[in-house]
């Protein structure tokens, strides 16, 4: 059942400032223990919404795209505004047959087999950036390394010209979060619109002169014999650039931030005691960069003694599910050797992240470069958090590297 207490009432999950200014560890534990279905009340003109905090409830909701739909938005930004303009056309906010067909199209270019060459490029780019930063002594890791790897990767896939990538990075940073102390939803909406307009121009160019990039592939694709429209292509490019940049970038930043505080775990990685594959999974669980996804109730359903009614919003909080004591042993411990580790960082069910393989490649290459080129690292200043009710992480991360001279001498 839903429980209300004065302590819980002080937390508004719809307010981006909540996540930048408060440690919610105790809040999530309270919800998991005593209010697994929680009602976040309407505030300041925002609608109220249901909150699911337990791992098993989140998994069950992800599996059920009949009772719960993505087609009215899948994040609070759009759900609270009444819907998503990309519904029924963008993979993330499409269900049923069309979702399955769109997913098959995108999986053709995001599968491990197809991405083997991309993975080699990620490796070369990552090792060059980390090597240069280590030799320089340090850097703002968020800006100079994490800000470049995912954007370069997804831009190469989409065929985005090199000179446009800094511009796109600035837009993705503004679209669903902000680096400042004041959250300006108007600026965020403008950034989202600019991304759409940018890809509309790029789609027109590719229709006139196709290449071997994802945009050209989408243009040439069809569902049930009907070619994808320009709007279909643009919306899915928008989804790919946001998903391909934001989540991987924030995970990488959190990875270095966390390892700087966990000397023992770093040493396990450096010595080879903790494998890269298990380390990647723990980094993803720990960071949980996408704090939530949302659904809208389609059919009445009873959950934890409450009747959920059609049209109500249900939010699924990875930030809590990935710390659920019912599933994870010592969930508050960062353990690079953790296994099993069935975290929720990529969601679950029909909407499991189509770019998960690429994200894991990027994080694993970062970990290997740090392992090979450094003996450790430390923060040189306090990082600045982003402000968002969807994503979590840091906008800045100044670090100093301790070089591994033996590793730096080796030829990649």
Select from 188, 273, 198 the least CA-distant residue to 238. 198
Predicted pLDDT at 224:
97
Predicted pLDDT at 411:
64
Phi/psi at 28 (5° precision): -65, -40
- Classify burial at 361, counting beta carbons within 10 Å of its beta carbon; exposed 0-12, middle 13-18, buried 19 or more: buried
C-alpha span between 297 and 236 (Å, rounded): 24
Higher-pLDDT residue of 16 and 180 is 16
Select from 393, 101, 62 the least CA-distant residue to 236. 101
Predicted pLDDT at 68:
98
Residue 50: both structure tokens together: 């249901």
pLDDT tens digits for range 122-140: 999 999 999 999 999 999 9
Does position 1 have pLDDT exceeding 70, yes or no? no
**Which residues are bridge partners to 308 per DSSP?**
301
Task: Please report where in the chains the tokens 């994080």 appear, as a residue.
Answer: 363
C-alpha span between 398 and 143 (Å, rounded): 9
Domains of the chain and CATH, by start? 6-409 (1.10.630.10)
C-alpha span between 108 and 214 (Å, rounded): 10
C-alpha span between 165 and 351 (Å, rounded): 27
Rounded to the nearest angstrom, the gap between the alpha carbon of residue 184 and the centroid of all alpha carbons in its chain is 21
Q: CA dihedral in degrees (334, 340, 344, 350; nearest 10)?
A: 160
- pTM here is 0.94
Mean per-residue pLDDT, 71-80? 94
Predicted pLDDT at 175:
86
C-alpha span between 268 and 261 (Å, rounded): 14
Predicted pLDDT at 290:
97
| Lowest-confidence region among 105-109, 229-233, 258-262, 330-334 | 105-109
C-alpha span between 274 and 148 (Å, rounded): 27
Higher-pLDDT residue of 2 and 409 is 409
Phi/psi at 73 (5° precision): 115, 155
Predicted pLDDT at 5:
53
Instruction: State percent of the chain over pLDDT 70.
Output: 96
**Angle, helices 263-271/356-373, rounded to nearest 10 degrees:** 90
C-alpha span between 379 and 156 (Å, rounded): 31
Mean per-residue pLDDT, 316-334? 98
pLDDT tens digits for range 183-200: 567 888 899 999 999 999
pLDDT tens digits for range 41-56: 998 788 999 999 999 9
C-alpha span between 100 and 133 (Å, rounded): 42
Residue 374: both structure tokens together: 């450094």
C-alpha span between 15 and 96 (Å, rounded): 32
Rounded to the nearest integer, the mean pLDDT of the chain is 94
Residue 75 pLDDT class (50, 70, 90 cuts): very high
pLDDT tens digits for range 345-404: 999 999 999 999 999 999 999 999 999 999 999 999 999 999 999 999 999 999 999 999
Specify the 3-state DSSP secondary structure of 83.
coil
Predicted pLDDT at 27:
96
Specify the 3-state DSSP secondary structure of 5.
coil
Residue 21 pLDDT class (50, 70, 90 cuts): confident
End-to-end CA distance of the chain: 56
pLDDT tens digits for range 220-251: 999 999 999 999 999 999 999 988 999 999 99
Number of C-alpha atoms within 13 angstroms, CB side, residue 32?
23
Residue 317 pLDDT class (50, 70, 90 cuts): very high
C-alpha span between 260 and 267 (Å, rounded): 11
Does position 20 have pLDDT exceeding 90, yes or no? no
Rounded to the nearest angstrom, the gap between the alpha carbon of residue 41 and the centroid of all alpha carbons in its chain is 26
pLDDT tens digits for range 264-306: 999 999 999 999 999 999 999 999 999 999 999 999 999 999 9
Does position 181 have pLDDT exceeding 60, yes or no? no
C-alpha span between 80 and 99 (Å, rounded): 23
C-alpha span between 394 and 193 (Å, rounded): 24
Does position 208 have pLDDT exceeding 90, yes or no? yes
Predicted pLDDT at 7:
59
C-alpha span between 55 and 310 (Å, rounded): 23
Q: What is the spatial order of strands in the sheet that 398-403 belongs to? A: 138-140, 398-403, 374-379
Phi/psi at 37 (5° precision): -115, 110
């Amino acid at each position: 059942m839903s429980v209300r207490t004065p302590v819980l009432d002080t937390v508004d999950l719809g307010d981006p400032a909540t996540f930048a200014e408060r440690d919610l560890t105790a809040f999530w534990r309270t919800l998991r223990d005593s209010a697994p279905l929680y009602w976040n009340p309407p505030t300041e003109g925002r609608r109220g919404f249901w909150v699911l905090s337990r791992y098993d409830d989140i998994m069950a909701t992800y599996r059920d795209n009949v009772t719960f739909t993505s087609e009215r938005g899948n994040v609070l930004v759009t759900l609270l505004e009444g819907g998503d303009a990309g519904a029924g056309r963008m993979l993330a906010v499409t269900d049923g047959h069309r979702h399955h067909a769109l997913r098959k199209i995108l999986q053709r270019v995001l599968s491990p087999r197809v991405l083997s060459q991309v993975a080699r490029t990620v490796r070369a780019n990552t090792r060059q950036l980390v090597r240069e930063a280590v030799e320089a002594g340090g850097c703002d890791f968020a800006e100079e390394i994490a800000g470049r790897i995912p954007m370069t990767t997804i831009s190469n896939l989409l065929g985005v010209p090199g000179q446009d990538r800094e511009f796109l990075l600035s837009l993705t940073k503004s679209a669903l979060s902000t680096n400042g102390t004041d959250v300006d939803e108007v600026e965020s909406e403008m950034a989202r619109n600019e991304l759409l307009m940018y890809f509309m121009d790029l789609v027109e160019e590719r229709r006139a002169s196709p290449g071997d990039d994802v945009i050209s592939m989408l243009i040439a694709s069809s569902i049930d014999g009907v070619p994808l429209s320009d709007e279909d292509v643009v919306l899915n490019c928008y989804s790919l650039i946001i998903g391909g940049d934001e989540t991987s970038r924030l995970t990488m930043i959190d990875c270095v931030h966390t390892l700087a505080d966990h000397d023992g775990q770093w040493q396990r990685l450096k010595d080879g005691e903790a494998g890269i594959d298990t380390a990647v999974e723990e980094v993803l669980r720990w960071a949980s960069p996408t704090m939530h996804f949302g659904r809208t109730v389609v059919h009445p359903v009873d959950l934890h003694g409450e009747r959920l009614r059609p049209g109500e919003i249900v939010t699924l909080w990875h930030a809590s599910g990935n710390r659920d004591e019912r599933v994870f042993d010592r969930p508050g411990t960062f353990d690079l050797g953790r296994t099993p580790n069935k975290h929720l960082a990529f969601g679950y069910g029909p909407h499991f992240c189509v770019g998960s393989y690429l994200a894991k490649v990027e994080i694993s290459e970062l970990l290997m470069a740090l392992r090979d080129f450094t003996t450790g690292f430390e923060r040189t200043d306090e990082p600045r958090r982003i402000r968002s009710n969807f994503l979590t992480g840091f906008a800045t991360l100044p670090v100093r590297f301790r070089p591994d001279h033996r590793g730096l001498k080796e030829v990649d």
